[in-house]
Structure 1
């Protein structure tokens, strides 16, 4: 992995919000893996092997007259990523109970102290969707439960469920770097009852979970919600994020068809996280 080359796009976005959120969502759809937001816009990363010179053709915000988006491109070796995120990464606090921080941050006096070294993985708590999913986990009971974290990224959501006494957690991500990074973070936080897998929903088979967490983009969720429902135990709970407020009716329609019932949603800027019960 140390020889992997990434392409870094340095975007300046005006107006910054909601421009940066829209840009990140659209870049995620075409294969960009990781993002760092800053005061001028977004740094976005994609593996060179997944990149092509026409990668931005379907990124609609670039042609939207309501936004001015400019960018520069350079190659970056994966080993240089730490220097990039350390310059931008600040510890975040969720409610009064949870802090997500890097190893170089001072240890806080909170109930749930999560140490994450994200490298090229998504999910530090800074993005609205991850932050809201952390909120949901804090609000809900995980004691003795079997949990699935789908699209686990850094593993931060799985780690918090482990700290909230979940019995066993499976963390799955399709990206090899996320898989390796989640394994590192799980070990770093001493969560030995989290199993990390590389793959997608096809790995689930007939496994059953009390709670499924999925922070992925809308189209993948729409395709996989029926699979999640099949793998939920009776009275199970499904937490979803990775989409906008206007996507809730479409997501909920798919959930209802799979026997799930809407219970609650959180909103941060235009992003939402939604709780369904089986």
Structure 2
């Protein structure tokens, strides 16, 4: 599969404006992003690219946020070289070491996760992924049934498994992500994970103890009611992929209508991960 690379040059290059723009690009098929000195690069499968959607999005931007782009094509076999030149290992709360297959192991950390991301989102570098990983480290997962919506590379699912979850179901509507998750399961020798392709329709008929969803605000708002149907009484819902302020307020209001109580949240560079407890008995 060939990808298109877009080099977006943003003036002024305000972080919050770029983050909002990236969030919108993700809704029209872009699935990997890389910061640059003048803005960022974004990647989309060539078969999924719709120029009308991109131009419509650009026209909706704040006139003071000037964006230009250069486009080029990247052959599938060149992706690994591109990734290796940019991906550095990261550490989460001195407990989790995330590396690629071409990095040396680091046995001094309690948990090590090896990720071969291909073109899937989720390496721990983005604020939302690292926030969700921090939340997982602070949550009791032993013997829990976990659902990971929008699993990307499967990084959150793999961490949940390493934290002794009984079983993890990972769902993504992108077949590249599902393939990436399954390969990363093997790299990490995880045997209690199941990767499924689809959206909320793919959620198994089970009562999950913990549901993870690192997607974006609009999709979360659309899917909250399905999470409420799939979670057990007293279950934990961890959400990320949105901003502090209006986004968080909207999700809190929607979740509370469905029987979730807001427990806490973490914030990093205006990105948020929020924790909810399900209190309403399922019908």
TM over 0.5: yes
Q: 1:92 to 1:179 in 2, by over 3 A?
A: same
Q: CA deviation at 1:99?
A: 1.4
Q: What is the aligned counterpart of 1:58 among 56, 59, 73?
A: 56
The unaligned stretches of length 5 or more in structure 2 are 279-283
After TM superposition, the structure 1 = structure 2 runs for residues 14-53 of structure 1, keeping only pairs within 5 Å, are 14-53=12-51
Matched with 1:149 is 148
CA distance in 2, matches of 1:194, 1:132: 22
Are 2:230 and 1:221 equivalent residues in the alignment?
Answer: no
**Structure 1, residues 102-131: CA drift from partner, whole Å, max 9, x if none?**
111221220111110111000011111101
Q: CA deviation at 1:40?
A: 3.1
Q: 1:9 to 1:160 in 2, by over 3 A?
A: same
Matched with 1:7 is 4
Q: CA deviation at 1:45?
A: 1.1
Matched with 1:96 is 94
Matched with 2:276 is 276
Q: 1:58 to 1:192 in 2, by over 3 A?
A: same
Matched with 2:178 is 179
CA distance in 1, matches of 2:256, 2:150: 22
* Matched residue SS, 2:205: coil
Matched with 1:256 is 256
**Structure 1, residues 2-33: CA drift from partner, whole Å, max 9, x if none?**
xx121110112332522331221111122212
Q: CA deviation at 1:199?
A: 0.8
Matched with 1:159 is 158
Q: CA deviation at 1:249?
A: 1.2
Aligned residues: 275
Matched with 1:193 is 192
Matched with 2:169 is 170
Give the TM-score normalised by structure 2: 0.93
**Structure 1, residues 14-63: CA drift from partner, whole Å, max 9, x if none?**
32522331221111122212222233322111111211222322325874
RMSD: 1.5
* Matched residue SS, 2:7: strand
Matched with 1:235 is 234
Q: CA contact under 8 A between 2:13 and 2:38: conserved in structure 1? A: no
After TM superposition, the structure 1 = structure 2 runs for residues 62-141 of structure 1, keeping only pairs within 5 Å, are 63-108=61-106, 109-141=108-140
* Matched residue SS, 1:118: coil
Matched with 2:281 is none
Q: CA contact under 8 A between 1:22 and 1:61: conserved in structure 2? A: no
Q: CA deviation at 1:97?
A: 0.4
* Matched residue SS, 1:142: coil
Q: CA deviation at 1:84?
A: 1.2
CA distance in 1, matches of 2:257, 2:204: 20
* Matched residue SS, 2:51: coil
* Matched residue SS, 1:56: helix
Q: CA contact under 8 A between 2:154 and 2:181: conserved in structure 1? A: yes
Q: CA deviation at 1:205?
A: 4.4
**Structure 1, residues 233-277: CA drift from partner, whole Å, max 9, x if none?**
111000001111121111111111110000000111111110000
CA distance in 2, matches of 1:53, 1:30: 10
